[in-house]
Amino acid sequence: MPRVKLFDQELVLQKAMNLFWEKGFHATSVQDLVNNLEISRGSLYDTYGGKQELFDQSLEHYKQDTLEWLTSFLNTEKDVKKGIRKLMESIIDRGLTDPEYNGCFVTKTCDGLSANDQVLKASMAEYHMKVHGIICDYIRSGNIDSSKNIDAIANLIMTINTGFSISSRVISDRTLLMGSVDEALSLLD
């Protein structure tokens, strides 16, 4: 008879995601996971398959949550320029005000990506294309000049947002960062 899990698997996955997000895959040991997740080594392997599999599930959980959040966030603002501004501003403000903010989990994972890790590279490329598609669709839903290269603008917005998730943690000048937002938004004029 199979044993009943005595822990909330979703909560453990969330805790694992936060630990990997904070420390990175390589700096997180199996013992770190056991200690922080408050589950036994056996439960870790029986339920998730091991450190790599738990990391993969954590990253997928983060990506899915982020895609849902991004879609919902952008859908709250019909004015495309205002929506993109709010998105950039939210990234900047989180970095400036939340001392626990570790930046973007995907960005941190890509930063530690081995050139030989083709599976993770493909996963990240697929995620990038999904985010790109959401932003492109959002821009196209607005009153933006049809001669604009929407694909390139969406990619630039993503690149700038990645930069904001890093720079807002080290540059405390909100005015400087928001000046960059204004320049980026001029592409939508």
- What is the predicted pLDDT for the residue at 7? 66
- What is the predicted pLDDT for the residue at 29? 93
Confidence at 1, pLDDT banded by 50, 70, 90: very low
Q: Is the pTM of this model over 0.75?
A: yes
- Alpha carbons 149 and 139: distance in angstroms, whole number: 11
The whole-chain average pLDDT of the chain stands at: 89
DSSP assignment of the chain equals -PPPP-S-HHHHHHHHHHHHHHH-TTT--HHHHHHHHT--HHHHHHHH-SHHHHHHHHHHHHHHHHHHHHHHHHHT-SSHHHHHHHHHHHHHHHHHH-TT----HHHHHHHT--TT-HHHHHHHHHHHHHHHHHHHHHHHTS---TTS-HHHHHHHHHHHHHHHHHHTTT---HHHHHHHHHHHHGGG-
- What is the predicted pLDDT for the residue at 151? 95
- What is the predicted pLDDT for the residue at 157? 95
Neighbour-count burial of 139, counting CB atoms closer than 10 A to its CB (0-12 exposed, 13-18 middle, 19+ buried): buried
Which CATH number is associated with domain 1-59? 1.10.10.60
Q: Does the structure show a pLDDT above 70 at 2?
A: no
Let me know: does 150 contact 78? Beta carbons within 8 Å.
no
Q: Average pLDDT for residues 104-121, to the nearest whole number? A: 82
Let me know: does 28 contact 37? Beta carbons within 8 Å.
no
Q: Average pLDDT for residues 119-135, to the nearest whole number? A: 93
Q: Does the structure show a pLDDT above 90 at 47?
A: no
User: What is the tens place of the pLDDT at every residue in 49-91?
Assistant: 999 999 999 999 999 999 999 999 999 999 999 999 999 999 9
Q: Average pLDDT for residues 88-96, to the nearest whole number? A: 93
In this structure, which amino acid lies at residue 162? T
User: What is the tens place of the pLDDT at every residue in 22-38?
Assistant: 898 889 999 999 999 88
Q: Average pLDDT for residues 87-105, to the nearest whole number? A: 89
Most distant CA pair in the chain: distance in Å?
Answer: 65
Q: Does the structure show a pLDDT above 50 at 4?
A: no
Q: Average pLDDT for residues 115-144, to the nearest whole number? A: 91
Q: Does the structure show a pLDDT above 90 at 188?
A: no
Q: Does the structure show a pLDDT above 90 at 169?
A: no
Domain ranges in the chain are: 1-59, 77-188
